[in-house]
Every structure is written in structure tokens, then in C-alpha cells.
A and B are shown apart, each in its own frame.
Chain A
């Protein structure tokens, strides 16, 4: 399985600012996903990060709020823009190796917005 490094592990941010979360994988992966886990809740898919093209966003999530980059097959970033306290969540990167039909998750980034 892949090893995923996610940074930052946690951060406290001010309302109105933006934060970029990085996801680095130790091998080339076909599929990369970003999930959000609000306090006490389950995981919700934000978007699929596509290498070399725009991310595919799920209903309720938009590119202006959550811009995503995926410059190569081992790296992706998620930016949470113009943050509000409602954005306080854990953001998780996950990947799927080609043909594996199983997701491996990073340790998550806990974001607190004041």
C-alpha cells in the first residue's frame, strides 16, 4: 500500500484567510481524493484530484472555495479559501493504487478557524 504524508497536521487560522494542505505519496497513484470530516461526523468527498486537468467536485463543493492542484502522480494540494468557523474540520487525502479498489488515507489535517 502507499504511504501518504499530509501537511500540516493541524493549524489554527483566522477567519477570512486561506490555507493550503499538501498531500505527498511515496509512489505514483492513479486516483487521489480529498475528503472532509466535520466534528463528530463521517467523511464526505470534496473532490477527485485529476492529474493534468481540473478536479472533479462533488455536489456542494466549488472550485473557488476549495481549489485543488495535482501537478503530478505523487502530489496534490487542497486550499481552503476565505475560511469561516464552519470550515473547521479534518481534511483527509486518500489515494488508490491502480487496480487496487481500496483507498489508503493520510493522517489528516485538523483545521480550526477562529
Chain B
């Protein structure tokens, strides 16, 4: 079974600065997908970024980028120019290629952006 680990329960960053959230995972599969979801206090789960394991290039979405290290099974999220609206829980998630689109989530990192 796949496992996803987020080792940072809480983090904080000053507005406009950069922060990196860590995620590691364990799988025996070669093809899979990795995700970062954001859950603000409204509790709506919002997709931040998605990475396909067969792609070597790191995914980027505006201020959000990932550092995907397949051999190390590491998938960190970098948030640049942090904004107050980035304050939320961030969940790393894994989807196996043969998992029927099921997601396995990490424990989450609570990010606070300070003015």
C-alpha cells in the first residue's frame, strides 16, 4: 500500500517570502500522479498543482512549483511571494496508475502567512 508523509505539521512564512513544504511517499509503482491540495478555513479542497511521475520536468502553476525527486520519492511544494490568502492546510496526495483514481493523502501541513 502507498503511504504519504508530510513531516511538517505547521509552518509559517512572512508575506512576500518563499516557503517550501515537504512530502515523501512510498510506492512500488513506476507510473503515478502526485498532487498538492489546499484546504482554507472554508474547507473546500482546491487543487494547487499536479505532477505526472513519467515527466521529468517539475510542474509549475504561477507562484507554485514543485521539486519532484522520483528516485528519492520526494515531492516538495514551493510557494513564492507568499500571500495572506495562501494561509491554509496543504495536503500532499498520491494516485497510483492502477488505483482507480483513488487518492492517498498525507497528514497535512498547516501554513500561516504572516503580514
Binding site for B on A (CB under 8 A): 31, 33, 41-45, 48, 90, 92, 94, 96, 101-105, 107-108, 110
Contact = CB atoms under 8 A, between A and B. Distances in A.
Given A42-B91, A42-B105, A42-B106, A104 B47 contact: yes
B56 interface: no
Nearest to A31: B101
Contacts of B37: 105
Interface of B: 33, 35, 37, 42-45, 47, 50, 52, 91, 95, 100-108
A102 B33 contact: yes
B91 A43 contact: yes
B42 A107 contact: yes
Contacts, number: 50
Contacts of A90: 43
Contacts of A48: 100, 102
A29 to B, nearest CB: 10
7 contacts: A33-B102, A45-B103, A92-B45, A94-B103, A101-B95, A102-B35, A110-B43
Contact of B101 (A103, A105, A108): A103
The 8 closest A-B pairs by CB, nearest first: A105-B45, A96-B101, A42-B105, A43-B105, A31-B101, A108-B43, A42-B107, A107-B44
A33 B103 CA distance: 10
